[in-house]
DNA sequence: CGTCACGTTGACGGGAGTCAAAAGTTGTGG
DNA sequence: CCACAACTTTTGACTCCCGTCAACGTGACG
C-alpha cells in the first residue's frame, strides 16, 4: 500500500522498486482526524512529511494574532523540515483539513536520501523553487490588488488544485473545509471582508458558496474579477515597465 | 581572483581546490554598471548567477505596473535559473544597484554540479528553503502591519545585511542606491507613503535619510516602531522618551 | 431543542492610495 | 563657476477601501 503511494509520487518518480523499498523502510505512516494538529510552530523541526491521503493547511502566525495560510497540501506533496533551519523549530503550524494520512521520515534520513539519489534532490529543489516563486508572486499581487481581486485569485488557484467538475455545466466544486477565516488568511484580509466579496460574487452569479464549500459557476467572470476589471476582459498587450 | 571568490562562498565551502577549479572552469565572469539590467522577466531562463562584488535587486512586476522588490543580493548570493522552471522564462527582472561583478554558469552545468557534489545541493536547498521561509514570513507580516511598521522592519532587515557602522555612536548606515520607489516595492506600498513614514521617523530622531541613503540612529526605537507601538512598551527599565 | 461555531450584514472611522505641485539633488554643458 | 534640466523626494488635500466592532441569521451536532 505505502509502496504504491511512494511509487506514484512525482518526488520519487524514476526510482527502482528496491530503491523505493529502501526509502519506505525509513518512513512511518501516521494519520490524523479533521482538525487535528500535525505539528505546531516552534516545535523541534526534525521530520519530513509526505501527504498520502487527505489535505492539510500550513499556517504562519504573527505575535499579534494574525494567521496567514501559507499553503494547502494535497496527496503527493511534502512539507516539514527539509533543512535543519539552524536549530530553529518549525516556522508554521500544520493542521489536518480532513482525515489525513501521511508518511513521516527523520530529516536526517531524508537528507541522506537526497545525497544518495541526486535526481530526487533536484526534484525537491525544483519543488521548493516553485514554491518560492509562487510565494513571491502571491506577495506581488497582494501588494496592489483589492480584497475582491485577491479572493477571486485565491479561489481560482484552489479550483485548479482541488476543484472537482461540478454537478452542472462548467461549474467547479471546491470541497475543502476552509472557513472564511482561512480564506482571510490566504488573502491577507479578514473574514468579514472575504464574506463581503464572496457575497457580491454570489449575487452576480459568479460563484455559489455555503458553509465550508465553494463552487465556481462562471470561471471567465471570476478571472476578470481577479484581473481587476469586473467588466470587459479585453485581451490587450501588457505594457512592460 | 575568481577562485578566491568561489572559495569564500558558503555555497561551495568544503570543496577541494581541484573541485573548485572544476566549477570555476564552467563559469564566466561578467560585470554591469549601476542601473544596468542583468536579465529581464520572461527572458529564457538558463543561467545561474553568483554575485562576486556589488549588489543587485530582483524585481517582480505585475501587469498593472506594480513593482515588488523581492530580494536584494550581495556578494556570495546566487540567483537566476536554479531549476528549469518548466520552460518558463525568468520570473523576475534583475538590475544592478551599483557596479556589479558576477559569475555565470549554464543551468544545466549547475545541475550537473549539484549531482556531483550532493553537499552543495543540500546547501542550495537550505538557502532556497530559507528564502521561502523569509518570503512567507514577510507576507505574513505585510498582511496586518501598517506601512510605517513595514518600512521599519524593512530598514532593520537592510541594516542587518548591508549596514555599516555609522559615523557616530550606534548609528548604522545603509548605503544602497534604493529609491523611495524601491522601498515602496519592498514594503508593498507607494513612494509617497514610504516618504511619509520616513519623514516621521526622521522627525522623531529615529533615522536620518537623504537621496538614496539611510542611517539608523536609534535601533531600539525603530524596533518598537516595527513592533507596532511607537511608544516605549519595553519590558522594563528603558527611560521614557 | 438548545448550544455553539460559522457566516452575513450594517455602521463607522482611519490608514493609505491617488492626484497634484513644490522643493531639494545630482549631473551636465556652456 | 554658474545655470539648467531631469530626477527624486516631500508635502498637502481628497477619497475610498477595508479593518473593526457589533448584531443578527444559519447550519451542524449532540
pLDDT in tens, A99-154: 999 999 999 999 999 999 999 999 999 999 999 999 999 999 898 899 999 999 99
Q: Which residues in chain B have Cβ-Cβ distances shorter than 8 Å to A121?
A: 114, 118, 121-122, 125
Is residue A172 over pLDDT 80? yes
Distance A241 CA to D1 C1' (A): 39
Q: Which residues in chain B have Cβ-Cβ distances shorter than 8 Å to A91?
A: 133, 136-137
Sequence-ordered list of residues with C-beta below 8 angstroms from that of A57, at least 6 positions apart, any chain:
A69, A71, A72, A73, A94, A95, A97, A178, A182
| Interface contact flag, A228 B62, Cβ < 8 Å | no
Choose from B64, B94, B136 for mutation: most chain A CBs within 10 A: B136
Q: What is the mean pLDDT of residues B101-118?
A: 95
Which of A221-230, B165-174, B213-222 has the weakest average pLDDT? B165-174
Choose from A69, A112, A125, A223 for mutation: most chain B CBs within 10 A: A125
Contact A95, A67 (CB under 8 A): no
Chain B within 8 Å of A7 (Cβ-Cβ)? no
| Interface contact flag, B118 A122, Cβ < 8 Å | no
Per the structure, the residues numbered 83 to 102 in protein chain A that have their CB within 7 angstroms of any atom of strand C are none
CA distance B185 to chain A (A): 9
* Orientation of helix B147-162 relative to helix B191-203, angle to 10°: 80
A residues 138..197 contacting B (CB < 8 A): 138-144, 188-189
Mean pLDDT of chain B: 89
Distances (CA, A) of B207 to B69, B152, B175, B200: 22, 10, 13, 9
Distance A174 CA to D25 C1' (A): 24
Q: Which nucleotides of D are covered by protein (CB under 7 A)?
A: 8-13, 17-22, 27-28
Percent of chain B past pLDDT 90, that is, above it, reads 76
Is residue B152 over pLDDT 50? yes
Reported as a single tens digit per residue, the pLDDT across B122-134 is 999 999 999 999 9
- How far is Cα A58 from Cα A60, in angstroms, rounded to an integer? 7
Is residue A241 over pLDDT 60? no
CB of B67 lies under 7 Å from some atom of strand D = no
CA distance B207 to chain A (A): 25
Q: What is the mean pLDDT of residues B174-200?
A: 95
Q: Which residues in chain A have Cβ-Cβ distances shorter than 8 Å to B11?
A: none
Reported as a single tens digit per residue, the pLDDT across B19-40 is 999 999 999 999 999 999 999 9
CB of B55 lies under 7 Å from some atom of strand C = no
* Closest partner CB to B62 (pick from A119, A121, A140): A140
CB of B104 lies under 7 Å from some atom of strand D = no
Reported as a single tens digit per residue, the pLDDT across B220-230 is 999 999 987 65
Instruction: Check residues B64 and B9 and name the one with the higher pLDDT.
Output: B9
Q: Which nucleotides of C are covered by protein (CB under 7 A)?
A: 6-11, 15-20, 25-26
Q: Annotate chain B with DSSP letters as a single string.
A: -HHHHHHT-GGGTT--HHHHHHHHTTEEEEEE-TT-EEE-TTS---EEEEEEES-EEEEEE-TTS-EEEEEEE-TT-EEE-SS-GGG---SSEEEESSSEEEEEEEHHHHHHHHHH-HHHHHHHHHHHHHHHHHHHHHHHHHHH--HHHHHHHHHHHHHHHH-EE-SSTT-EEE-----HHHHHHHHTS-HHHHHHHHHHHHHTTSEEEETTEEEES-HHHHHHHHHS-SS---SS-----
Q: Which residues in chain A have Cβ-Cβ distances shorter than 8 Å to B188?
A: 139, 142-144
Residue of B nearest to A119 (CA): B115
Nucleotide nearest to A147 (CA to C1'): D18
Nucleotide nearest to B143 (CA to C1'): D19
CB of B229 lies under 7 Å from some atom of strand D = no
Residue at grid coordinates 482538525:
A35
Checking DSSP bridges between strand A27-32 and strand B100-106, what pairing results, if any? unpaired
Is residue A229 over pLDDT 70? no
Per the structure, the residues numbered 131 to 170 in protein chain A that have their CB within 7 angstroms of any atom of strand D are 146-148
Which residue's alpha carbon is at the shortest distance from the C1' of D17? A146
| Interface contact flag, B91 A137, Cβ < 8 Å | yes
pLDDT given for residue A167 in this prediction: 62
* Closest partner CB to A241 (pick from B61, B82, B119): B61
Nearest to A156 by CA among A227, A67, A212: A227
Nearest to A118 by CA among B113, B160, B42: B113
CB of B210 lies under 7 Å from some atom of strand C = yes
Is residue B87 over pLDDT 70? yes
Amino acid at each position: 500500500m505505502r509502496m504504491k503511494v511512494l511509487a506514484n509520487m512525482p518526488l520519487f518518480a524514476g526510482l527502482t522498486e528496491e530503491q523505493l523499498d529502501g526509502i519506505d523502510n525509513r518512513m512511518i505512516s501516521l494519520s490524523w482526524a479533521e482538525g487535528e494538529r500535525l505539528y505546531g510552530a516552534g516545535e523541534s523541526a526534525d521530520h519530513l512529511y509526505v501527504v498520502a491521503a487527505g489535505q492539510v493547511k500550513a499556517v504562519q502566525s504573527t505575535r499579534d494574532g494574525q494567521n496567514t495560510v501559507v499553503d494547502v497540501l494535497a496527496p503527493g506533496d511534502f512539507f516539514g523540515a527539509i533543512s535543519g533551519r539552524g536549530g530553529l523549530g518549525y516556522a508554521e503550524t500544520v493542521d489536518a483539513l480532513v482525515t489525513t494520512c501521511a508518511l513521516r521520515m527523520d530529516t536526517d534520513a531524508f537528507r541522506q536520501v537526497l545525497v544518495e539519489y541526486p535526481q530526487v534532490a533536484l526534484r525537491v529543489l525544483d519543488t521548493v523553487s516553485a514554491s518560492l516563486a509562487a510565494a513571491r508572486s502571491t506577495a506581488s499581487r497582494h501588494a496592489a490588488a483589492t480584497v475582491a481581486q485577491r479572493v477571486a485569485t485565491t479561489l481560482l488557484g484552489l479550483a485548479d488544485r482541488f476543484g472537482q467538475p461540478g454537478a452542472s455545466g462548467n461549474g467547479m466544486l471546491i470541497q475543502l473545509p476552509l472557513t472564511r477565516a482561512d480564506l482571510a488568511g490566504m488573502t491577507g484580509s479578514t473574514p468579514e471582508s472575504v464574506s463581503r466579496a464572496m457575497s457580491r460574487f454570489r449575487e452576480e452569479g459568479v460563484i455559489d458558496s455555503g458553509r465550508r464549500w465553494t463552487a465556481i459557476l462562471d470561471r471567465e467572470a471570476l478571472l476578470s474579477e481577479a484581473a481587476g476589471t469586473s467588466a470587459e476582459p479585453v485581451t490587450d498587450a501588457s505594457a512592460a515597465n
